[in-house]
């Protein structure tokens, strides 16, 4: 995302480094815009960060960049994160829409008894360690913003060695035990914190921002059938016209062709529908003004009992139990 380079520029400017000269040296001839579809090659960003470390003399420069990455840097996705109902809801959004941020990696949520592992898997060796630092520091700062200011992870794994003499700086940034040279970058959160309700939850803003983020993904890669289908389902859920046949018709293909394309991507229409329904249901249930019957219809279920059975499969609880009514 080009907006990430803008955060790097701000960090360079604050360090009294000629950011324009450094951008040109890295091969970036024109300063990126704030357009969510403005992209910069991962290798180019890595080169820019290497030059930044050289000129600032700061091997922890990624932590500095994180200070200038605001949720609004991520455009519609960022606003959806701010309006999420829990840290789990927030991370599920990041997992679904991470390709808007970068195609160099993907996020996954791993349940580990009483703690949750939020893992980052890299898809290329070109990703700079400074970017990994910036991402992890941004996520922790985001959690402090939307959950509580003194939030501290249980543990942080970083795919890099600790720069000599910088142990205290990393500790100050994360306030957690840090494992360096880890095979996978990860942040560990207690299950209690992960599912605690957030004061800033707003389902209308979150869902509208989800739709916009989905449209960005479609524009980013029109060949990405998963993004296309997810976006169409999200739009169709309230009307109830979200069958595989209806979605295929909107995408100008047969249901069998749609299923074949999804199978090639390792998923199915049923899986995508279930994932979206669960995510939207959890968001709706945070608002006690919306009845469980109404939520079921908003999710396209024909009756409350069908919604209750599905929700119990997803969470092990009924909607009423989950809400605490």
Q: How far is CA 79 from CA 35, 38, 83, 109, 207, in A?
A: 15, 18, 6, 21, 10
Angle made by CA atoms 213, 140, 99, in degrees to the nearest 5? 30
- Residues of the chain whose pLDDT is less than 70? 221-223, 325
Q: Is 303 exposed, middle or buried (0-12, 13-18, 19+ CB in 10 A)?
A: exposed
Starting at the edge strand that comes first in sequence, how are the strands of the sheet with 105-112 ordered? Answer: 105-112, 115-122, 185-190, 155-157, 178-179
Q: Which residues contact 142 (CB under 8 A, 6 or more apart)?
A: 71, 81, 90
Angle made by CA atoms 190, 193, 199, in degrees to the nearest 5? 170
pLDDT given at position 56: 95
CA distance 184 to 242: 37
Q: Which residues contact 236 (CB under 8 A, 6 or more apart)?
A: 242, 246, 247, 250, 300
How many angstroms separate the first and last alpha carbons of the chain?
42
Give the residue from 275, 314, 296, 281 showing the smallest Cα distance to 97: 275
Asked if residue 132 lies in contact with residue 159, where contact means CB atoms within 8 angstroms, the answer is: yes
* pTM given for the model: 0.73
Query: What residue segments make up the domains of the chain, in order of their start?
Result: 102-194, 222-323
Looking at the DSSP bridge assignments, the partners of residue 179 are 157
* CA-based torsion, 7, 39, 230, 126: positive or negative: negative
pLDDT given at position 57: 95
**53-79: burial string, b at 16+ Cβ within 10 Å, e else:** bebbebbbbbbbbbbbbebebbbbbbb
The number of CA neighbours under 13 Å toward the Cβ of 270 is 2
pLDDT given at position 34: 81
* CA-based torsion, 68, 180, 115, 279: positive or negative: positive
The tens digit of pLDDT for each residue in 21-58 reads 999 999 888 888 888 888 888 889 999 999 999 999 99
CATH class for the domain made up of 222-323: mainly alpha
CA distance 133 to 64: 9
Q: Tally Cβ neighbours within 10 Å of residue 114.
A: 10
């Amino acid at each position: 995302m080009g907006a990430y380079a803008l955060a790097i520029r701000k960090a360079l400017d604050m360090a009294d480094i000629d950011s324009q000269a450094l951008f040109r040296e890295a091969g970036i001839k024109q300063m990126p815009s704030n357009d969510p579809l403005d992209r910069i090659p991962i290798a180019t960003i890595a080169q820019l960060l290497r030059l930044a470390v050289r000129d600032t003399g700061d091997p922890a420069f990624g932590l500095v960049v994180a200070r200038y990455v605001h949720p609004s840097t991520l455009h519609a996705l960022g606003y959806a994160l701010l309006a999420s109902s829990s840290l789990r809801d927030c991370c599920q959004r990041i997992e679904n829409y991470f390709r808007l941020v970068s195609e160099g990696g993907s996020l996954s949520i791993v349940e580990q008894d009483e703690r949750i592992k939020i893992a980052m898997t890299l898809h290329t060796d070109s990703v700079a360690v400074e970017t990994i630092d910036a991402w992890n520091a941004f996520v922790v700062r985001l959690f402090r913003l939307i959950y509580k200011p003194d939030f501290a992870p249980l543990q942080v794994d970083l795919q890099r060695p600790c720069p000599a003499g910088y142990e205290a700086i990393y500790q100050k940034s994360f306030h957690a035990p840090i494992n360096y040279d880890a095979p996978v970058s990860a942040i560990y959160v207690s299950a209690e914190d992960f599912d605690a309700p957030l004061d800033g939850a707003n389902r209308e803003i979150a869902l509208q921002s989800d739709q916009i983020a989905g449209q960005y993904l479609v524009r980013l890669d029109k060949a990405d059938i998963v993004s296309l289908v997810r976006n169409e389902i999200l739009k169709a859920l309230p009307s109830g016209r979200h069958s595989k046949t209806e979605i295929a018709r909107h995408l100008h293909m047969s249901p069998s062709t749609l299923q074949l394309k999804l199978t090639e991507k390792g998923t199915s229409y049923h899986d995508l529908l279930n994932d979206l329904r669960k995510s939207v249901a959890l968001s709706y249930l945070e608002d006690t003004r919306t009845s469980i019957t109404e939520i079921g219809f908003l999710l396209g279920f024909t009756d409350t009992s069908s919604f209750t059975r599905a929700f119990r499969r997803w969470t092990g609880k009924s909607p009423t139990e989950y809400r605490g009514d």
